Amino acid sequence: MRKLKIILFSSLFMCLTTSTFVDAQISEPAQEVQRTGLNLIGKVMNSRAQFLDEQSAFDLLRKHRYVFVGEKHDNPAHHQLERRFIQERFADANRNNQGRVVFEMLDNSHEAAIRQLQVETSLDQMKQILNWPEKGSWDWRIYGPNFHEASKRSALAFGNIDRAFISAVYKNGEKNFVGVERFATALNPPDFLRDYLLDQIFSSHCGMQSRETLTPMLHIQLAKDASMATAMLQTDAAMLIAGGEHVRAETGAPWHLRKKNPQADVLIIQMIEVQADSIDLDAYIKKAGKADLYWFTSATESKDYCAGVKGKAAQ
């Protein structure tokens, strides 16, 4: 079988470095692989385009104070990995200050219920205490076990804003942030951040609304990321589990955290779905954005959520 060289531009990966790595066991270089031997699923690559063995990756997970984990919400492989991340994060008895596990899927309306949880609280009991809806944005079958894994270590924490505050921000915009430390970094975002988020929101709305009308959604996105960063900084260490866009280094919660604490010890992990017909590592990295570790996983079925919307609009 012919060999296929995958050329990765070293300059790209040098600029992707976001934190200082400890010595890690390098399992193989990423510059050149055999097409038949390439199996990215389960592999971990750092920002210097080097594959790490799994144990070295877990060591980094434990070493850094503030860890950001980016998921694709409907990918079961990501949720399984997150459960493993929680277990590994708290596995070292000599590291007794790993802080909390902050979830995008929990908001401040859950705060009182979280305080009621005990180490021995069962999964079913937790669902009742949190008053989790049978039908909602976040499927309990998916996220419940991960909440429980964190709660067993007295580490469960909310990160997001509740629906009441979302409604207030939608109506009144940045006025809701004034004088509130939790949202200080959401005020007056720099142009690059504002433009990037508006582009993402425009795309997620299938280009059916003008950017000007999406400003309320921009404020909501900024509030969410600011809230999650603030939640992490409530303790000396924390791990955030959120959607991949929320953990982008230069536009998501890590940006807000570093605005508040420029010297923060940060590790960013992006979980990346591997497409069967693509071995273009450069493209995977560009899509995921700047990170310290790229964890390759199996992919869910690709869906074009805008196809139906645009089709109906054209009728």
Report d(CA 283, CA 288) in Å as an integer: 9
**Token pair of 196, please?**
């990037």
User: What is the rounded CA–CA span in Å between residue 144 and residue 127?
Assistant: 7
* Residue 157 within any structural domain of the chain: yes
pLDDT at residue 36, rounded to an integer: 28
pTM score: 0.87
Q: How confident is the model at residue 33, as a pLDDT?
A: 44
Measured CA to CA, the distance from residue 142 to residue 123 in angstroms comes to 12
173: left (phi over 0), alpha (psi -120 to 50) or beta: left
Q: What Rg do the C-alpha atoms of the chain give, in angstroms?
A: 20
Residue 267 CA, chain-centre distance (Å), reads 11
Q: Contact 149/83 with Cβ under 8 angstroms?
A: yes
Residue 15 lies in a domain: no
Domain assignment present for residue 223? The answer is: yes
pLDDT of 22: 43
Looking at the 3D structure of the chain, how many domains does it have? 1
Any domain includes 277: yes
The answer as to whether 13 is a domain residue is: no
Domain assignment of residue 224, given as a range: 39-299
> In the prediction, which pLDDT does 35 show?
46
Residue 309 belongs to some domain of the structure = no
Write down the pLDDT at residue 94: 72
Residue 2 domain-assigned? no
Q: 311 lies in a domain?
A: no
Query: Which pLDDT belongs to residue 209?
Result: 86
Nearest of 149, 13, 132 to residue 89 by alpha carbon: 149
**Cα–chain-centroid distance for residue 50?**
22
| pLDDT score of 95 | 73
Q: What is the CATH number of the domain that holds 220?
A: 3.40.50.11550
Report the chain (315 residues): mean pLDDT per 10 consecutive residues: 36 41 54 49 94 96 97 96 97 83 98 98 98 93 97 97 97 96 97 96 88 93 98 97 97 98 98 86 91 95 69 39
* Residue-level pLDDT at 308: 61
How high is the pLDDT of residue 207? Answer: 84
| Whole-angstrom distance, CA of residue 232 vs CA of residue 99 | 9
